């Protein structure tokens, strides 16, 4: 199919993005065995800062101070929304760091760098969004198939329908749409929009799973919304001296 054809010049970048994608999620899930899920999410989403830095150094893109400030504000809002701050000693909680906590932090930071690399490689590939998503999914399937072979496949029935939904809708379709936007936007805008995903996940957890949110978490979601809108607000032009 023409939409899935991979030009020779794009192949190394698509391969690199697929490897980095697999590495980033493997590091993230491994990190959650050493630290809390909330802390892992916050640390993993330091990656927009890496994306801004790499975009400026590698792609030569200009980073507006307004968007850098928005990313920092959004990161603070995410820390509030996930409830991480309430469990830190600085805010009165006991130091409950388990064994291997700093290893988990290191794994999250490494995963964040890998995820930032995925976006940069996708932009350098300069191929279609559908081709990027297809070849990444294929590479992931070829890499990870050994796990179900070794540990067993899901029972036939509803589990396979859910698995198909996760693969076709929440992975293939979702990443095709993400890459369609990535190829059209500068890295500074991509960086701030990456905070939409955790914010939506927290809201859905509240609406669908009836997970009660604290006042601090609601404030965090509001801060995320303000940060994203602040990043998209056009900057005022400098006054022209007569």
> Average per-residue pLDDT in the chain?
81
The pLDDT score that the predictor gives to residue 16 is: 92
Q: What is the mean pLDDT of each run of 10 residues along the chain (242 residues)?
A: 74 91 90 78 82 83 79 84 63 56 85 91 86 88 84 84 88 89 84 82 80 80 83 56 47
For residue 242, the model assigns a pLDDT of 46
**56/94 Cα distance (integer angstroms):** 40
What local confidence, expressed as pLDDT, does residue 24 receive? Answer: 92
What local confidence, expressed as pLDDT, does residue 146 receive?
84
Q: What's the pLDDT at 240?
A: 45
Does this model's pTM top 0.85? My answer is: no
Using the CB atoms, write b or e for 51-63: b if 16+ within 10 Å: bbebbeeeeeeeb
Gap between the Cα atoms of 54 and 32, Å rounded: 26
pLDDT given at position 9: 86
């Amino acid at each position: 199919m023409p939409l899935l054809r991979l030009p020779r010049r794009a192949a190394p970048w698509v391969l690199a993005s697929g490897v980095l994608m697999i590495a980033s999620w493997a590091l993230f899930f491994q990190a959650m065995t050493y630290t809390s899920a909330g802390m892992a999410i916050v640390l993993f989403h330091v990656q927009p800062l890496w994306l801004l830095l790499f975009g400026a150094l590698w792609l030569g893109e200009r980073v507006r101070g307004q968007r850098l400030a928005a990313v920092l504000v959004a990161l603070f809002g995410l820390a509030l929304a996930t409830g991480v701050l309430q469990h830190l000693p600085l805010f009165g909680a006991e130091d409950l760091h388990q064994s291997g906590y700093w290893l988990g932090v290191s794994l999250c930071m490494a995963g964040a760098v890998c995820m930032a690399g995925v976006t940069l490689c996708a932009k350098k590939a300069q191929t279609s969004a559908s081709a990027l998503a297809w070849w990444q999914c294929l590479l992931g399937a070829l890499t990870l198939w050994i796990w179900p072979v070794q540990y067993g496949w899901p029972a036939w029935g509803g589990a396979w329908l859910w698995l198909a939904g996760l693969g076709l809708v929440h992975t293939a379709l979702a990443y095709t749409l993400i890459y369609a936007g990535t190829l059209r936007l500068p890295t500074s805008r991509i960086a701030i929009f990456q905070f939409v995903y955790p914010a939506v996940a927290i809201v859905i957890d509240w609406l669908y799973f009836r997970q009660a949110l604290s006042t601090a978490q609601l404030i965090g979601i509001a801060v995320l919304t303000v940060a994203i809108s602040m990043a998209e607000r056009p900057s005022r032009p400098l006054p022209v001296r007569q």
